[in-house]
Structure 1
Amino acid sequence: MLKVTQLSYQHQRDTLLSDITFDLLAGELLVVLGPNGAGKSTLLKCCAGTLKPSQGSIHLNNTTLEQWPLNELAQSRAVLTQQLSIPFALRVHEVVSLGLSPWSLTIKEQDKAITDVLNMVGMAHFSDRVFNSLSGGEQQRVQLARVLVQLLAHGEQDLTGKLLFLDEPISALDLQQQQIVMRLLKTMTERGMSIFCVLHDLNLATLYADTLLIIERGETVYYATPSKMHHTSVVENTYKADLIQIDHSEKPLPQWQFRH
C-alpha cells in the first residue's frame, strides 16, 4: 500500500527527519507517536505529498506520489491536518462537501454521501449549523467527516487502496468521542482502508493501533506491534517522563500511568 524508504527531510540547515523506513499495509492502522517537535507532522506531510523529502522514496500502490495524477491521488488519499478553522461562514454540510471535489456526483449522491459520514461522526443533527459556531471538538468531527467523504464518496464496502492521513484527530474531543472516533477508524481498517494517524495518547495508541511508529528528534526509536512494548523502557526513555507501565485489564497490551 504505502512504502516509505530511507526518508529524510531537511529545512534550511536543520534535519527534521532522518532515515525513516516503514510500510503501511491495506487494512492497517499505523499510529505515529513521539514528543513535541519529534517530527510527526513533518513525516505525515512528507508521506502525504504536501512536503517534498530531501532524500528517500515514497510509493503508494507501487507508484511514486509524483507519478500519480492529482485527481486520482485525491480519490485515493485524504489528509486531515491540525488546522481546523475555515475563514468563511460555511454550514457544516458545505464544509463536508469540500471533500467531494475530486468526484463527479449527482446532487442526490452528494447528499447521501454527506449524510452518511456525518452520521458516522455523530454530527448529522448539526448539518445546517454554521461551522465556525461549533465547539473545537465538534469542528474536529466535521473535518474528519470531510476527509472520510473524500474516500467514501461512492459508499463502497471494500476500501482497499484508500489511504487516510490524520494529524491528532482526537485532540479536542472528550473521552466518549475519542472512543467513538478510534472505534470508527478500526471499522474503516476492517473494510480495507489504510490509516496513518498521529496521536499523543499512548494508551489509546497501544489499544487501537496495529503498528506503532515512535520517533524522537526525527529518528525511529520503535517500529513494531504494541504488544512488543511490554517490559521495555522505550516510552520512558523517549518522553523523559516518570511513568508506571501496567497491563490493560482486558487485552495483553501495555498501558501507562503517571507516578505521583
Structure 2
Amino acid sequence: MQLCTAGLEVSHQRKALLGPADVTVRQGELVALIGPNGAGKSTLLKSLAGLVSDYRGQIYLNDDSYRNLAPQQLARHIAYVPQQHQCAWPLTVREVVALGRLAQGNTVDQHHPLVDMALSRCDCLVLQNRTVNTLSGGELARVMLARALACDTPMLLADEPLAGLDPHHQLSIMAVLRRLAHLITEGSIIPKGVLVVLHDLELAARFADRVILMHNGKVRADGLASEVLVPAHINPVYGVDFRVDWQVRPPQIQALSPF
C-alpha cells in the first residue's frame, strides 16, 4: 500500500501553502519529513490524512483518488497524529487509546490486545488509569501516539510526535516507529508506512529509511538520509553550517551552526 500526491497544491486566502508537490510514502518504510518552520510539512500531512478538502492536483491511496473515497475508508487505512493535542473529556488514558479501535468499525474494547500493545510501546501502561487532563504535555503526546498505534492502520502520519518528550522517550518512540515500519514488533498485524515530521536532523539520520526535505511549500530533496542530509541541501534551506559523520553508527552531526 502507498500514499502519493501528484502536483498537489494547497492555498489559503490566495497564499500558497504547499506545492506543487509529488510525494510517495510506501508501506514498510519510515520516512522523515524535515524542513524549517512554515515549510509546508503540516499542510502536507493534513492533506494526506484527508483533512484538506480544497486542493489542486491529486492524492492517491494506492490507485484510488481521495476525491472518490469516503472519510471512513481513509480512516481504516490512515492514522494521523496532529501537532496539537486536545482532549475535551476527562477520560482515562486507556479509554482514550481504546478509541483508536473505532477507526476499524469496532466497538471500544479497552482490553483489546492492540490497545495493550500500544500502551506498552509508548510507555503509557503506568499512565493507563490517569485521566488525560492530568497529564503533562509530553505524556499526552505519547498517549495520542498510542491511540494512533491502536488503530493498526497500514499508514501512520505523525506531526512532530517528539515535541515535548525527554531524550529517552524521543529515542524510544523513534525506535517504535521504525519497528512498526519494518514489522519487527510484537502485536502489530501489518507493517506500516510511517511519515513523521522531525526537527532533530540527527534522529532523521539515525532512524529514517528515507528523508523528504521541504522549503517554502516545495519538496527540495527526497532520498536516502545520506543523500539528503548533506550540506548542499541542508545549508541553503536552514541557513546553517551542517555536517554529519556517516562513518559512525549511529550517524552523528559534527557541526550545526548558523552562518
TM-superposed deviation, 1:64: 1.3
Aligned residues of 1:26 and 1:193 also touching (Cα < 8 A): yes
Shift in CA distance, 80/256, structure 1 to aligned 2, threshold 3 Å = farther
Which runs of structure 2 are paired with 1:246-257 in the superposition (5 Å)?
246-248=244-246, 250-251=248-249, 253=251, 255=253, 257=255
Cα deviation per residue 1:31-64 (whole Å; 9 max; x = unaligned)?
1111111111011111111013531111112111
2:256 matched residue in structure 1: 258
Matched, 1:179 2:171: yes
In structure 2, distance between residues paired with 1:117 and 1:147: 8
TM-score normalised per structure 1: 0.89
Q: What CA distance in whole angstroms lies between the structure 2 residues aligned with 1:116 and 1:229?
A: 33
Count how many residue pairs are aligned between Structure 1 and Structure 2: 250
Q: What is the distance in 1 between the residues matched to 2:229 and 2:55?
A: 35
SS in 2 for 1:183: helix
What TM-score, normalized to structure 2? 0.89
Query: How big is the shift at 1:69?
Result: 3.7
Contact 1:100 1:110 in 2 (8 A): no
User: What secondary structure is seen at the aligned counterpart in 1 of 2:57?
Assistant: strand
Q: 1:107 to 1:38 in 2, by over 3 A?
A: closer
How far off is 1:30 after superposition? 1.4
Structure 1 residue 23 displacement after superposition: 1.5
- Whether 2:205 is the aligned partner of 1:206: answer yes
Kept after mapping to 1: 8 A contact 2:246/2:252 = yes
| Structure 1 equivalent of residue 114 of structure 2 | 113
Letter paired with 2:176: L
Which 5+ residue runs of structure 2 have no aligned equivalent?
A: 184-190
Deviations 1:69-105 (A, max 9, x none): 4333212111000121212211101111221113354
- Could you say which residue in structure 2 is the equivalent of 1:195? 194
For residue 254 of structure 1, report the CA deviation from its aligned partner: 6.5
Mapping 1:118-137, distance limit 5 Å: 118-137=119-138
Q: Flag the 1:14–1:174 CA change in 2: closer, same or farther, 3 A.
A: same
Cα distance, 1:112–1:15 mapped onto 2, change above 3 Å: same
Structure 1: state its 5+ residue gaps: 153-161
- Aligned-residue identity in percent: 31
CA–CA distance in 1 between the matches of 2:169 and 2:25? 26
State the distance in 2 between where 1:80 and 1:230 align: 25
Contact 1:247/1:254, CA 8 A, preserved across alignment? yes
Q: Distance in 1 between matches of 2:166 and 2:5?
A: 33
Give SS of 2:76's match.
helix
Which amino acid in structure 2 is aligned with residue 247 of structure 1? D
**Aligned counterparts of 1:196 and 1:222: Cα–Cα separation in 2:** 15
Query: What is the identity, as a one-letter code, of the residue corresponding to 2:164?
Result: A
**Partner secondary structure for residue 158 of structure 2:** strand
What is the one-letter code of the residue matched to 1:203?
E
Aligned to 2:5: 4
Counterpart position of 2:225? 226
2: distance between equivalents of 1:11 and 1:33? 22
Secondary structure of residue in 2 paired with 1:101: helix
Counterpart of 2:181, as a letter, is T
- 2:188 match: none
CA RMSD of aligned residues (A): 2.1
* Alignment partner, residue 159 of structure 2: 167
Superposed displacement of residue 248, structure 1:
4.3
In structure 2, the residue matched to 1:47 is 48
> Per the alignment, in what secondary structure is the counterpart of residue 36 of structure 2?
coil
The letter of the residue matching 2:243 is: Q
Match of 1:65 in 2: 66
Q: Is the 8 A contact 1:9 1:17 kept in 2?
A: yes
Name which of structure 1's ranges 104-113 and 197-206 shifts more when overlaid on structure 2: 104-113
Q: Deviations over 1:92-126 (max 9, x none)?
A: 01111221113354776744332221011111121
